[in-house]
């Protein structure tokens, strides 16, 4: 007789949001750094973390199962006990409604310390995704949806012809990365590059449709593969960057590399956000009417 209430609890499991904490401070050495675990400290250097903002306002590293904790000294550290008060405000991380994060001595993160020697930064919630809440005793991070929270459409299908897929060879370390558009003062600044089901042959710069693009670079062949195992094609006529065709034997485009933390093609880091609708932009490396010059910042996910 007690089974039904238990099943009801399971069916209404609270949802958290996984994300990468991307530091934003134009012109500083910390621009586009990520939160890292350095011992018990949260810093700009150290081991990778995958953060989850739980529905109760606690923030946890799902890898170590340690909670992020703001101490009386304002330092952000890793602890066993949960501390609530974290939230998102306009896609930026906040603590008790304050977005006043700082990078201080030794690259360590503090919150609203007002120390003049620290560098004030904003912390963008990069590549958010809905997941189950994670607690300190949990052993796995379970994705509730393969779609970014900012997305209104499902992820692209991975059931494509074998000839249209590609796999990373032993020359790749297997790390996935996303891309962020960079053009200070423009409407696409910090916009994620996205893969949209309706037009996988050309990726979007920002927007609400689709899912954040995640790539792997094969350094030996200088080709790219997306999260669905599809090779990446750069159309030599239009300059559009997207997936290879789903059928036939179209090879993935060669010539990609990562230089100074940006995606490069044949040595060039010049890309364009080309208008393709009302406040909608497509990614290309060729001139287009009304296009915005951008660089593509590589962000490990």
pLDDT digits (tens, 9 = 90+) for 53-73: 999 999 999 999 999 999 999
Distance CA 213, CA 207 (A): 13
The CB-based long-range contact list for 138-141 (8 Å cut-off, 24+ gap) reads 138/62, 138/65, 141/18, 141/50, 141/52, 141/62
pLDDT at 173: 57
Domains and CATH numbers, the chain: 15-132 (2.80.10.50), 175-300 (2.80.10)
Main-chain phi, psi angles of 11, to 5 degrees: -70, -20
pLDDT grade for 137, boundaries at 50, 70 and 90: low
Judged against a pLDDT cut of 90, whether residue 108 lies above it is answered with yes
CA 238-263-252 angle, to 5 degrees, is 55
What does DSSP say about strands 41-43 and 86-89: parallel, antiparallel, or unpaired? unpaired
Q: What percent of the chain has pLDDT over 90?
A: 58
pTM of structure: 0.60
Take residue 61 and report the two structure tokens written for it. 């590293």
Distance CA 151, CA 210 (A): 5
Residues 273-290, mean pLDDT to the nearest whole number: 93
pLDDT grade for 249, boundaries at 50, 70 and 90: low
Q: Is 138 exposed, middle or buried (0-12, 13-18, 19+ CB in 10 A)?
A: middle
Q: Say which residues have a Cβ less than 8 Å from residue 5's Cβ, sequence separation at least 6.
A: none
Residues 83-95, mean pLDDT to the nearest whole number: 94
């Amino acid at each position: 007789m007690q089974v039904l209430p238990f099943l009801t609890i399971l069916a209404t499991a609270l949802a958290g949001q996984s994300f990468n904490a991307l530091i934003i401070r134009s012109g500083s050495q910390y621009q586009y750094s990520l939160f890292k675990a350095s011992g018990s400290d949260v810093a700009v250097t150290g081991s990778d973390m995958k953060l989850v903002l739980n529905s109760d306002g606690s923030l946890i590293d799902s890898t170590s199962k340690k909670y992020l904790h703001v101490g009386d000294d304002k330092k952000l550290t890793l602890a066993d006990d949960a501390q609530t008060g974290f939230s998102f405000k306009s896609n930026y991380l906040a603590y008790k409604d304050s977005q006043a994060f700082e990078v201080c001595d030794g690259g360590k993160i503090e919150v609203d310390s007002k120390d003049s020697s620290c560098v004030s930064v904003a912390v963008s919630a990069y590549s958010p995704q809905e997941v189950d809440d994670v607690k300190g005793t949990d052993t796995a991070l379970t994705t509730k949806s393969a779609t970014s929270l900012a997305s209104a459409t499902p992820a692209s299908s991975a059931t494509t012809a074998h000839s249209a897929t590609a796999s990373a060879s032993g020359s790749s370390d297997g790390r996935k990365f996303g891309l962020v558009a960079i053009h200070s003062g423009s409407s696409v600044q910090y916009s994620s590059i996205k893969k949209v089901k309706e037009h996988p042959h050309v990726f979007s710069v920002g927007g609400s449709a689709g899912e954040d693009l995640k790539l792997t670079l094969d350094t030996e062949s200088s080709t790219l593969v997306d999260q669905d195992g599809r090779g990446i094609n750069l159309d030599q006529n239009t300059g559009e960057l997207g997936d290879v065709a789903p059928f036939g034997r179209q090879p993935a485009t060669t010539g990609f590399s990562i230089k100074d933390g940006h995606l490069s093609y044949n040595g060039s880091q010049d890309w364009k956000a080309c208008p393709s609708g009302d406040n909608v932009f497509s990614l290309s490396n060729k001139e287009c009417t009304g296009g915005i010059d951008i660089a593509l910042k590589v962000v490990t996910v």
